[in-house]
Amino acid sequence: MDLYEHQGKELFAKAGIAVAEGRIAFTVAEARAAAEELGGTVVVKSQVLVGGRGKAGGVKVVKDADAAEAAAEAILGLDIKGHITRRLLIERGVAIAKEYYVSITFDRSAKMPLLMLTTMGGMDVEDVAENHPDMLARLHVDPALGFRGFHGVQLMAAAGIPVDERKAVGAMLAQLYGVFEAEDAMLVEVNPLVFLDDGTLLAADAKVTIDDNALYRHPDVEAMRDLAAMDPQEQAARESHLAYVKLDGDVGILGNGAGLVMSTVDVIAQAGGRPANFLDVGGGASAEKITTALEIVLSNDKVNSVLFNIFGGITRCDEVAKGLLGALEATEIRAPIVVRLDGTNAEQGRALLTEAARPEITVEKTMLEAAATAVRLAKEAS
């Protein structure tokens, strides 16, 4: 789960990490009130779950409440790479002396947290990695040890942090690692990490991603979820504990098992079609579960045909066929469904469907045949 900057900063503040004082605003009026309350120079920042808002005009430094109001007016509703700005962070302006970059990522390859630090703050870190690789210090932390003082020394020395700044930066690194561990983060990024004119070290931005599987122990973070920003199908799938990802084609796809469904998406594309979604119904074969999954797939208006791809294992294909027939009773189906059943008891399952002779269903024996048919049907309907 990706957090907005202001949410990430809430977690930072809880961990004792300095951030600029700020207010969240959903309307122009709220933005003005926040600017008035903070007084003086403020920064009006678009809160979107995507990078590059600065270049897109999503961040403005303004001198007073009038200017803040105007900035809010300009930024609310702003489309930043497909993300519409619906909330603003109004922050007290600070006098920045120096900008660094620090991040902690969950490095699956090394199976360790990876810390990155550079004095080239404020820039895109991919640029630094590509064009100034010597300036980007990288360090893995063995999770059996956790972050220790010597990790900080190593990383800061490699990044060229001046010796007189190491106490402050080292303490900040420890705190950020603390957030990474305590909040089950997959990413904690601060860009820029800034020294103010008065020597204070402060996290001027916050990009935090929390492990979905760990949200059960972070109800405060779970409550931060912005349901309004979610796709309606994705939201419905989430409520039903189904794995769903929207794509932009017209062939709806559901099947059992993430790998098989990913493969089905690929096969549809190989057959010349355009997949509309990924949906893993998981194990089991109740009519209720299949009904919910079909309803989510079909609630996407673009869908012109549906491929239901099952490889029966412990759940047998005859059970799946019965579940599917039950689902067809329970909901109205507005597009043709191609069903492929393979694996345990596939023949019995196919026989059940053939006997039922539902007009909306075409039964195929193999995955490739089923894909070809689903693509053809979608093209006919469009």
Partner 1 sequence: MAVIATKDTRLVVQGITGREGTFHALRNRDYGTNVVAGVTPGRAGQDVEGIPVFDAVVDAVEQQGANTALVIVPPRFAAEAILEAAEAGVAQIICITEGIPAHDMLEVYHYIRPRGIHLLGPNCPGALSPGIANIGIIPAEVFKPGPIGLMSRSGTLTYQIGGELAAKGLGNSTIIGLGGDPVIGTSFIDALDLFQADDETEFIVMVGEIGGNEEEKAAEVIAERITKPVVAYIAGFEAPPGKTMGHAGAIISGSAGTAAAKQEALEAKGVRVGTNPTEAAQIMADLVGNR
Q: Kindly tell me which of 30 and 222 has the beta carbon lying closer to partner 1.
A: 222
Per CB under 8 A, contacts with partner 1 among 304-363 are: 311-314, 342-344
Q: Using CB under 8 A, pick the residue from 280, 318, 319, 364 that binds partner 1.
A: 280
* Closest distance of CB 256 from partner 1, Å: 6
Active site residues: 101, 189
Residue 39 interacting with partner 1 (CB under 8 A): no
Residue 223 interacting with partner 1 (CB under 8 A): no
Residue 230 interacting with partner 1 (CB under 8 A): no
- State the binding string over 83-122 for partner 1 (x if CB under 8 A, else -): -----------------------x-xx-xxx---------
Per CB under 8 A, contacts with partner 1 among 138-177 are: 142-145, 148-150, 153-154, 157, 163, 166
Three-state SS string over the chain comes to CECCHHHHHHHHHHCCCCCCCEEEECCHHHHHHHHHHHCCCEEEEECCCCCCCCCCCCEEEECCHHHHHHHHHHHCCCEECCEECCCEEEEECCCEEEEEEEEEEEECCCCEEEEEEECCCCCCHHHHHHHCHHHCEEEECCCCCCCCHHHHHHHHHHHCCCHHHHHHHHHHHHHHHHHHHHCCEEEEEEEEEEEECCCCEEECCCEEEECHHHHHHCHHHHCCCCHHHCCHHHHHHHHCCCEEEECCCCEEEEECCHHHHHHHHHHHHHCCCCECEEEECCCCCCHHHHHHHHHHHHCCCCCCEEEEEEEECCCCHHHHHHHHHHHHHHCCCCCCEEEEEEECCHHHHHHHHHHHCCCCEEEECCHHHHHHHHHHHHHHHC
* Closest distance of CB 217 from partner 1, Å: 8
* Closest distance of CB 266 from partner 1, Å: 5
Q: Which residues bind partner 1 (CB under 8 A)?
A: 106, 108-109, 111-113, 126, 142-145, 148-150, 153-154, 157, 163, 166, 181, 184, 186, 211-214, 216-217, 243, 245, 247, 255-263, 265-270, 275, 278, 280, 311-314, 342-344, 366-368
